Structure 1
Amino acid sequence: MGLIDSIFPPLVAGLIRSIPLSPRRPRDLLRCNGTHHGKYYVKTGYHLFRESHDRAYASCSGMDIKPPSYWNAIWSAKGAPRCRDMIWRACKGVLPVKYVLSARGIVQDTICPVCGMAEESISHAIMHCSEAMAVWFASPLAVRVPNQDHQQFSYWFVELISKCDDEWASSLLCSIAWAIWLRRNRKVFNDYLLSVDQTLQVALSMGLAIDSVNNVNDGEAVPVTWQRSSQGIIKINFDAAYSTERGAGYGMVARDNDGLLLAAATYYVGPTLDAMMAEAACMRWSMNLCKDHGFQSLVLETDCLLLHQAWSAKSVPHSYVGVLLEDCRLLASSFSILSMCHVKRQCNQVADFMSKLAYSMQDNVWIEDGPPGLNTILSADLCIPSVMSAGLFYMTSATFK
């Protein structure tokens, strides 16, 4: 490690150290960057060319070109299609507010028709207007809109959605934005301004309708709480926290079929190439811990759908993730029973808590007794769904205050 630090700058040295090393010592492979599978296809070249062209055009024209992850956050939000479409148009800058219409020579008056106090830009109409701010704050999420008028709605909303772990809250955020826009249009075209309560009723009814649709699968309700394992099976919840600034932290929790804690662990890795690799490395780390503690019959739970799909696929990804998954398949032979399933994020809150704890408690293992704060989540996992839902609502509301 000292040699790497002496040759390369700190940032590059950290990325080199983050490359996963396998005890199998597989042969080196060439892979294509920008894909999870590591293979090059014609569409891969097309996407790479478009990204390069957009960056070059943005630097010359001063345009704000947003990365794919930005748009993924919008389209993956749990909102109604009409709500997400409105938010997409707002983030693209094509929502027909008076400022946009004036720039195209359609109207001359640019004053906000709702508050009559400022120019109606997209950010003002949905975010900074005093009437819009009242709706956001009066909602069950109690969202406080920042006072900075220069802050764009697009970045503020995407950041809000990205921090939201609850599907109900994510759906409600989209519905509130749509209801505020509906309220504005009622004022423009019908000269009638909905009250704050009426606007929230529209948003809540939209959110509840979407929630009922998302929780139905072939006539059966989709479980939204943690489920106990079968007799004699140990359930392992694992998760990786990742940020470009702080790197990756791993968290793991092992429970028996009664939901009693057997072990919990945290591990801080530091710089990591991407979130997907952090999830795969966390899986390998969790399996190694289980092997060291003599656990033999396991079911692994992850909230990372891409990881579950890669594990279930017949072909191995041509990437670092593939190397890590091959290590996990080799480790699987050490257990008498091992399976893996994908769960919703609210079913994996214990592992999420531990992974974030890894940033402050970097390398720890607890046996039959976890760190402060974990027992509250463990107890909530064993509660009936109605109590659990109330707990989720409380935590979500507190997040946005």
Structure 2
Amino acid sequence: MVNLHQCQIVPSACCALCNALPEDFLHAVWYCEVISDVWSTLEWFHQTAPSHSNSFTELLSSFLFNREEFRAEIFVIMEFIQAQNDEPDPPRPPPMQQWRPPDPQCFKVNFDAVVFRRSSLAGIGVIARNHDGEAVGALSSPIPMAQSVADLEALACLKVVQFALEFGLTRVMFEGDSTVIINALLHDAGELASFGNILNDIHLHSTVFQFVKFVHVSSNCNLVADALAKKARSNVGAQVWLHDLPTDIVPLVLHDVH
């Protein structure tokens, strides 16, 4: 739940079992009071486990280095059983709550780039959505491979800005999972990098927008753009969709919205 909350997929990081504390990995497998009831059925478990663990690795090590190997085996088996058990569904936010821009006239545009192995080509994917999460435009395009991945990601960012301008969007929030490029744009850095000229072009184009913001998101929050970028492998040229999407991309958008 902590990871989902950081990706803005759920409104709260609270554990769905105990509803008391944030559910990180250690809480989910050890500290949650519901889970701890399982461990307490074995009297020797708390004698083996440390009084407090800062990580799952530390917790696991206390069992692995115990002289009685069966304790480690039981611990691992019970962890596996817990992982397989069905848990209550996490609370689901209202549609689009996870990313809805504060301005109803603002559009969210995600972009991504992928490298095609054993090929001199790469792919770029772009998905533009309105305030209600409806897809208003998408792009899937193969491009020549750049000198480096960072150069490729910078080119993808430039392409998404140009796409938004050509589409007539004036208030845009761009989201990408490239830490290097997004940070360089946010902090006016990277002028001396190989992609410095591309950043200058991005800044120049961005001055046309009434409102523009660049946001870094994790790859888990950028799945639609990633799928469109990978789809470019089979494209002869750039493919553009207006108020429509390929049938294999629609389920990803619906999942992302809801």
Query: TM-score band (shorter)?
Result: 0.5 to 0.7
1:322 pairs, out of 187, 196, 215, with 196
Distance 2:229 2:159 in 1: 12
Q: Secondary structure of the equivalent of 1:192?
A: helix
- Output the aligned Cα RMSD: 3.0
Q: Structure 1 residues 233 and 359 mapped into 2: Cα distance closer, same or farther (>3 Å)?
A: same
Q: Structure 1 residues 370 and 191 mapped into 2: Cα distance closer, same or farther (>3 Å)?
A: closer
1:190 Cα deviation from its structure 2 partner: 2.1
**Match of 1:218?**
none
**Match of 2:247?**
372
Distance 1:314 1:249 in 2: 26
Structure 1 segments of 4+ aligned residues over 6 angstroms from their partners = 203-206
**8 A contact 1:226–1:348 mirrored in 2:** no
Q: Does 1:265 align with 2:110?
A: no
Q: Does 1:344 align with 2:218?
A: yes
**Match of 1:235?**
108
Q: Secondary structure of the equivalent of 1:358?
A: helix
Q: Does 1:289 align with 2:163?
A: yes
1:307 pairs, out of 181, 200, 210, with 181
AA at the equivalent of 1:378? V
**Match of 1:142?**
none
Provide TM-score, normalisation by structure 1: 0.43
Q: Secondary structure of the equivalent of 2:205?
A: helix
Q: Secondary structure of the equivalent of 2:172?
A: strand
Q: Which of the pair is proportionally richer in strand?
A: 2
Q: Which of the pair is proportionally richer in helix?
A: 1
Distance 1:354 1:346 in 2: 14
User: Percent identity among equivalent residues?
Assistant: 21
2:256 pairs, out of 381, 386, 392, with 381
1:265 Cα deviation from its structure 2 partner: 0.5
Gapped runs of 5+ residues in structure 2? 1-23, 27-54, 84-96
**Match of 2:75?**
198
Distance 1:315 1:303 in 2: 17
1:324 Cα deviation from its structure 2 partner: 0.7
Distance 2:144 2:172 in 1: 28
**Match of 1:32?**
none
Q: Secondary structure of the equivalent of 2:183?
A: helix
Distance 1:175 1:352 in 2: 31
**8 A contact 1:238–1:348 mirrored in 2:** yes
Provide TM-score, normalisation by structure 2: 0.65
1:132-151 correspondence runs (5 A): none
1:182 Cα deviation from its structure 2 partner: 6.5
**8 A contact 1:226–1:347 mirrored in 2:** no
Q: Secondary structure of the equivalent of 2:192?
A: coil
AA at the equivalent of 1:198? F
Q: Structure 1 residues 270 and 192 mapped into 2: Cα distance closer, same or farther (>3 Å)?
A: same
Q: Structure 1 residues 191 and 377 mapped into 2: Cα distance closer, same or farther (>3 Å)?
A: closer
**8 A contact 2:107–2:172 mirrored in 1:** yes
Q: What is the aligned length? A: 190
**8 A contact 1:238–1:282 mirrored in 2:** yes
**8 A contact 2:126–2:139 mirrored in 1:** yes
**Match of 1:248?**
122
